[in-house]
Structure 1
Amino acid sequence: MFIAEKLKWFADRDPDKVITSFKGKEISYRDFYRKAENLAGYLQELGYLKEDRLALLLTNSDSFLICYYACQIGGITILPINTKLAPPEVEYILAHSEVKGIIYDDQFAGVVHSIGEKLPALQDTICVKGKFEEIIVGERQVKKPELLEEDTAVIFYTSGTTGRPKGVMLTHKNVAAIAAIWSESMEMDAHDRMHIVAPLFHCAASHVFSIPVIYKGGMVIIEEAFSPETTIRTMEQERATIFFGVPAMYSILLNMPSLEQADLSHLRLFCYGAAPMPYELIRKVKTLFPDVKVQNLYGQTENSPGATTLKDAYALEKVGSVGKPLPQTEVRVVDIFGQPVPPGQVGEIIVKGPQVMKGYLKNEEETARTVKNGWMYSGDLGRFDEDGLLYIVDRKKDMLIRGGENVYPVEVEEVLYAIPEVLEAAVIGIPHEVYGEVPKAYIVLKEGETLSEEAVLAFCKTQLASFKVPAELEFLDTLPRNASGKVLKNVLRGQVKV
């Protein structure tokens, strides 16, 4: 059952149940479906046909999800855009994807209008603070198209950490599969109240959390963005059962006195992803919330995203692991010839399942390099342990070679995270006239903490082989990150003086 059909089923079965809560405004399943149906009907009146593309330039809101489901109902391909991108980056995505229209927040009106003049294919621009409200409260009829499994439902553009961003095409089959997979893995049901602070334009917030919980008849609590005090207050007042954040968010929340004072007795699950969670941080979470399970999630846009998960039973025992394959999913670690390697040996992680993408938009060459015989080659280096749990060693492109020795930055970062004063750390390779490359570490300290370079290096020398110890160290106020919370190592590399 595709996700729009599942939404309709719940709207008919339990129409008065709340589906979204945003800034104190609640919408029922019945009203939500009707709003989405009205928008789909309006777009059809404008001439939108199956697989025509509609872009979203929206911050987190209930309107975002209404737009998403409207496109699923009408068979239109939705294209969420990162709201943190610069105008030239937005223009590239709109031009490359040849979208027919865009729905946007009023704060982006200037950007949309200036770009629209350069893009003749862009026919319709709709602001959510204007005509949008009139559209979704009408009584429009929808001609429901015959949707096929391989029709493109959504296109997410990758963050473009290397070169131009690529448009990942996900099908209706992909979206329904990932909703079923994650809802099963996190044991979601109609009683769950999912708390979303991560950006919905990113596939994780939409496809790992929001859509799976709606797929089970639950509720989505939406915040515009992460703000520690507001997030804690919302979590308490809305009686959230599941919360997702990147490790940096947990580090900030655990330093908030109000967290211990809040009544979070409804919480049952803390999820994290995008970066490793240090042992000490997981221990603090489990000490403060002994009845709340902790679950790590691993996947990429190209697999909807979903590959493996580390469940609570292994949270402290297997720190650093991303767990075992998800339901309906196969995961292998292979050598350069595509052959599986034995446990303990490092290779490229490949993934197979109903969630693997259709391909990259207008890029058959890159699609052929990434998807081979149904297997998606992730570009991540990893290894399985003897118990069948997967560990990410690093991105294939991030590995550096120092004098013939492989150095995996994630391994060095894990050691840096073990230093109590360290909030965040990132390691890259920098040029060296003798060794070719050597590791350089960037460190962000916790508020109010001090730490010397000598103390960091002394600790590293007790934990790492000498060739892995950072040759250089730099303290920063913050690490550059993209909207999904991943550190932009290309930005750090760009700061290196050659």
Structure 2
Amino acid sequence: MGEPIWLKSYEEGVPHSLNYPDKTIAQIVDEIAAKMPNHKALIFYQKEITYGELKLYTDLLAAALARDGVKKGDRVALMSPNTPQYVITYLAVQKIGAILVQVNPMYVERELLHILNDSGAKVIVAMRNLYPRIKAVQNQTNLEKIILFDFSPYDVPDDAVDFEAYVKSAAGYTVEYPPIDYLNDPAVLQYTGGTTGIAKGAILTHRNILANPMQVTAWMTSCEFGKEVVLGVLPFFHSYGMSVAMNFSLINAGTLVLLPRFEINEVMNTIKKYRPTVFPGVPTMYIAINNYPNAGSYGIDSIKECISGSAPLPVEVALKFEELTGGHLVEGYGLSEASPVTHCNPLGGKRKVGSIGLPFPDTEAKIVDPENYERELPIGEIGELAVKGPQVMKGYWNMPEETARVLKDGWLYTGDIARMDEDGYFYIVDRKKDMIIASGYNIYPREVEEVLFEHPKIKEAVVVGVPDEYRGETVKAFVVLKDGETATAEEIIAFCKERLAAYKVPKKVEFREELPKTAVGKILRRQLREEELRK
């Protein structure tokens, strides 16, 4: 079936440099469709879509959007779990030069409102069940069109259009695609909490979102063009799932098996039926498979290569998974601002316990003095990790000051504290100061705390991440009630559930008479975290 042209330089199985073509991912998919029209591109339960069909659907949606006035630079929001409509929309928006705004379908109204207003999106594509949330905020946004889809018949609201009917309406309509500046034109706004807890749109260019899956391809030295089956259960609205599952599969003429959520019985039966060869995930997914009864009888030995991200990968988890599958499972590292992967342990080479591995091809990394970013620290010293490469974002959407703070001379200052050893392997010593990572999701305490402070009975509150056997970390809130008030943990949790995505809601609440503070009144979050670790 041929192979990609960009693989060129190898040394001991680790590639160092790649050729990045001046193409969008959508253009690469079109080329694959021309050469391999009947090759399976997507599998979603009983539905299979070939590359030829994927190109047809993508062209029709692109034409419909362009007909209705969506032009280069306009923002189109996409709010959906992993579905064929997700992939079609993602590619169609690229074709007309518009910018895709990734929206987590678990977001509640206040979160959705912020992203729609910050991005200025004029169109949103979403699953039917999300319509009430979208409608509740539409009058406060620039949204002009709501495009909905579902997998069973439904009544289309009067102020929305059905995805399938909308696509069909463009039959016979032709559109001339605009020229793309691959290095500079934005392709995706990837919203990330950042260190402040305020969601910021990382501007990922067409080169960014193509470079990262190409780097993944080169790293997976056993990858064969047109022959991989990729299990797409990582959410594509997260940059990790977007690059390492969806885009990796698309640029390699892979077959992408879509699952809208991780449900272990469904995952195991899907593995048994479709025999995936590549399975990017997070540690909780691999833990669930390791502990599944008779896991070996589900054909998991088809899995050749897995990169784990979003949270530290315990070595015992990796070893047991490799024993069960016969494949490789290694830990990588990244952040939304880098599309996201920058480091990974070699899949077939030397890996080190506790390390995030080596920089990706064409990626530079260094450790700098957190107080003086111009001073690079020597091997073994602990400082801030800075990275540079073709996957690093252009900046934050409409936030020049924040952009200038983290991007300097092409270097992205991650805010993560790390060190490098004598072999060039990197180790994260401490994550961004307060961030909690639960089941691969980034949770910023400030956002949760702001909701807690809205509760009429709460005087003070602070949130920390505490160890959790399954999620890695979970959210715990320490609360001081106002004088004379009483409340239960269940009451506080229910209050949060109405105002936050499910993964951000505190799972534990501890009531205290007072919280530990510094002399100037700053709450000692680290002290509370350390108390939990000692339990």
TM-score range, shorter chain: 0.7 to 0.9
State the match for 1:65 in structure 2. 87
TM-superposed CA distance for 1:78, in Å, is 0.5
- Counterparts of 1:474-489 in structure 2, within 5 Å, are none
Could you report, residue by residue, the CA deviation over 1:334-384 in whole angstroms, capped at 9, with x for unpaired residues?
113222212211111111011111110110000000100000000111111
Structure 2 residue corresponding to 1:11, chosen from 14, 17, 33:
33
Corresponding residue for 2:149? 128
Letter in structure 2 aligned against 1:296:
E
- Residue deviations 1:129-156 (CA, integer Å, cap 9, x gap): 3521123343432211011121111101
1:238 maps to what in 2? Answer: 274
- Aligned counterparts of 2:465 and 2:180: Cα–Cα separation in 1: 50
How far, CA to CA, are the matches of 2:376 and 2:92 in structure 1?
A: 42
The answer (yes or no) to whether the contact 2:305–2:347 under 8 Å persists in 1 is no
Once the two structures are TM-superposed, the CA of residue 95 in structure 1 deviates from its matched residue by: 1.0
Letter in 1 for 2:292: M
Q: Counterpart of 1:245 in 2: which secondary structure?
A: coil
Q: Cα gap change, 1:441/1:223 in structure 2, threshold over 3 Å: closer, same or farther?
A: closer
Residue 133 of structure 1 aligns with an amino acid whose one-letter code is: E
Q: Match of 2:288?
A: 252
Of residues 40-49 and 328-337 in structure 1, the stretch that sits farther from structure 2 once superposed is: 328-337
Matches within 5 A, 1:33-182: 33-119=55-141, 121-129=142-150, 131-137=162-168, 138-149=171-182, 150-159=184-193, 162-182=196-216
Q: Is the 8 A contact 1:194 1:209 kept in 2?
A: yes
Distance 1:494 1:331, change over 3 A: farther
Structure 1 stretches lacking a partner, 5+ long: 400-408, 414-425, 429-439, 448-479
The structure 1 residue matched to 2:468, chosen from 440, 444, 447, is: 444
Q: Is 2:366 aligned against 1:332?
A: yes
- Please give the residue correspondences for 1:323-362 in structure 2 after superposition, counting only pairs within 5 Å: 323-335=357-369, 336-338=371-373, 339-362=375-398
Q: Which amino acid aligns with 1:141?
A: T
CA, structure 1 residues 445+207, in 2 after alignment: closer, same or farther (shift >3 Å)? closer
| Structure 2 Cα separation of the partners of residues 446 and 38 of structure 1 | 43
Q: 1:389 to 1:117 in 2, by over 3 A?
A: same
Given the alignment of the two structures, is residue 312 of structure 1 paired with residue 347 of structure 2, yes or no?
A: yes
Contact 2:195 2:433 in 1 (8 A): no
Q: Aligned partners of 1:107, 1:354: CA distance in 2, in Å? A: 37
1-structure distance, mates of 2:205, 2:510: 36
> TM-score under structure 1 normalisation?
0.80
The corresponding residue for 1:32 is: 54
Structure-2 separation of matches of 1:87 and 1:249 = 28
- Tell me, in whole angstroms, the C-alpha distance in 2 between the residues paired with 1:91 and 1:206: 23
Q: 8 Å contact 1:183–1:213 — kept in the other structure?
A: no
For residues 489 and 96 of structure 1, what CA distance do their matches in structure 2 show?
24
Secondary structure of the structure 1 residue equivalent to 2:372: coil
Aligned to 2:218: 184
User: Could you tell me whether the CA contact under 8 Å between 1:196 and 1:243 is conserved in 2?
Assistant: yes
The within-5 A match list for 1:187-226 is: 187=221, 188=223, 189-226=225-262
Q: Structure 2: which 5+ residue stretches go unaligned?
A: 1-22, 151-155, 157-161, 446-463, 472-495, 516-535
How far did 1:313 drift? 4.4
- Separation in 2 of the partners of 1:365 and 1:495? 38
Cα distance in 1 for partners of 2:432, 2:302 equals: 40
Partner of 2:528: none
Instruction: Give the CA deviation at 1:244.
Output: 1.7
SS in 2 for 1:377: strand
Preserved CA contact (<8 Å) 2:418 2:430? yes
Q: Distance in 2 between matches of 1:161 and 1:353?
A: 22
Q: Distance in 2 between matches of 1:228 and 1:257?
A: 11
8 A contact 1:294–1:311 mirrored in 2: no
Taking the TM superposition and a 5 Å limit, the aligned residue runs for 1:366-445 are: 366-398=402-434, 442-445=466-469
1:37·1:140 contact (CA, 8 Å) conserved in 2?
no
Note the C-alpha offset of 1:33: 0.8
Counterpart code for 2:420: F
Q: Secondary structure at the match of 2:71?
A: coil
**TM-score where L is the length of structure 2:** 0.75
**Size of the alignment, in residue pairs?**
427
Give the RMSD, CA atoms, in angstroms.
Answer: 3.0
CA contact (8 A) 2:284 2:470 kept: no
Report the Cα distance in structure 2 between the residues aligned to 1:489 and 1:353, rounded to whole angstroms: 35
Give distance in 1, aligned partners of 2:230 and 2:303. Answer: 10
Are the equivalent residues in 2 in contact too, given 1:275–1:486 (CA < 8 A)? no
Give distance in 2, aligned partners of 1:174 and 1:493: 41
Q: Is the 8 A contact 2:219 2:347 kept in 1?
A: no
Contact 1:57 1:82 survives alignment (8 Å): yes
Instruction: Say whether the 8 Å CA contact 1:322–1:391 is kept in structure 2.
Output: yes
Letter in 1 for 2:344: T
Of the structure 1 ranges 17-26 and 336-345, higher mean CA displacement relative to structure 2 is found in: 336-345
Match of 2:355 in 1: 321
User: 2:279·2:305 contact (CA, 8 Å) conserved in 1?
Assistant: yes
> Is the contact made by 2:229 and 2:275 (CA closer than 8 Å) also made in structure 1?
yes
3-state secondary structure, aligned to 2:280? strand
